[in-house]
Structure 1
């Protein structure tokens, strides 16, 4: 069950038992990472709930916090359905490149197909921050270069206190 709140004429927020969430237990993992999640194909909110369960069962990560879910219009390629977006704060002991591969495998597990830039997708997982590190490689840029320009990141980020 979701509670819906209209933010403005373009944006809606949704709340459930798991979004937002704040863990009480401390994590043994070394690094804190902030991951943006999004999607606009199929039942995205239900997919977020399933992702939450998968992450809670995985010993390689600890789920620390989640934000509200934001429904917002697409950018870039605009001829598609609105997106649902949220933020996950995770702890992990994986190094950044290994963690990126982990997220890419999760996307694939949840049906992600890459066809073109900004295409519709079942699940998108982006590393926004990784433990105060600055990374600039061909495969990974951290902090995410456009996070501050996207409502789909900034509004949920505010909800997790980052």
Structure 2
């Protein structure tokens, strides 16, 4: 088995968000060669891209994985499909959105996957929850993520919200 790496996945939903996020967390725990290690608080956020839609709930999880980035992406997209994610409108309402933010210090540009996620240092709903669980996190090309916190372009976070009971899931940091 290849060595395990630290990876971070952003989770967001604005259609039955509590139910869909809990289901996605449960499904993430079933991925092969992957262990859910930590999860951030939950954040209520304004929609990004298309503003005329319901607010989102967002969080970030840390996983340890031996999966390569493309295989990890395939598994997250399978979870999205199982939770009825439809990609009809870019930035539109969604049951679940799982974005791979970082995969170790990997830098990758493919038609279907860019690492680090190009929005990571621009969107507070990705950066702030990640820093909550990994304040020492490092962007492979931009340096310490903590140093990028004040330069965020898109500030969508409204508030941190109470989390529902999630017995058996990785606890928040």
TM-score category of the 2 structures, normalised to the smaller one: 0.7 to 0.9
Structure 1 pair 58–133 and aligned structure 2 pair: CA distance change class (3 A): closer
Against the structure 1 CA distance between its residues 29 and 70, is the aligned structure 2 distance closer, same or farther, given a 3 Å change threshold? farther
1:63-78 maps to which residues of 2 (within 5 A)? Answer: 63-78=36-51
Pair 122,29 (structure 1): closer, same or farther in 2 beyond 3 Å: farther
SS class of match (1:149) = coil
- Checking the alignment, whether the CA contact within 8 Å between 1:29 and 1:62 is kept in structure 2 is no
CA contact 2:41–2:129 (8 Å) conserved in 1: yes
Q: Does the alignment pair 1:53 with 2:26?
A: yes
Distance in 1 between residues matched to 2:105 and 2:18, nearest whole Å: 29
State the 1:62 CA deviation: 0.2
User: Considering only aligned residues, what root-mean-square deviation do their CA atoms show, in Å?
Assistant: 1.5
TM-score, with normalisation over the residues of structure 2? 0.73
Structure 1 match to 2:118: 145
Q: Deviations over 1:68-120 (max 9, x none)?
A: 01101012111100111000111111111111111100101111011121010
Listed one character per residue, the Cα deviations across residues 15-65 of structure 1 (whole Å, up to 9, x for unaligned) are xxxxxxxxxxxxx961211000101012x1232222222233444310011
Distance (Å, rounded) in 1 between the aligned partners of 2:106 and 2:120: 15
In the alignment, which of 24, 34, 38 is matched to residue 12 of structure 2?
38
Q: 1:107·1:123 contact (CA, 8 Å) conserved in 2? A: yes
Structure 2: gaps of 5 or more residues: 138-173
Residues 1:86 and 2:86 are matched in the alignment? no
Greater relative contact order structure (CA < 8 Å, 6+ sep): 2
The whole-number CA distance in structure 1 between the counterparts of 2:62 and 2:13 is 18
Question: Could you tell which deviates more after superposition, 44-53 or 64-73?
Answer: 44-53
Query: How many equivalent pairs are there?
Result: 134
Structure 1's unaligned 5+ residue stretches are 1-27
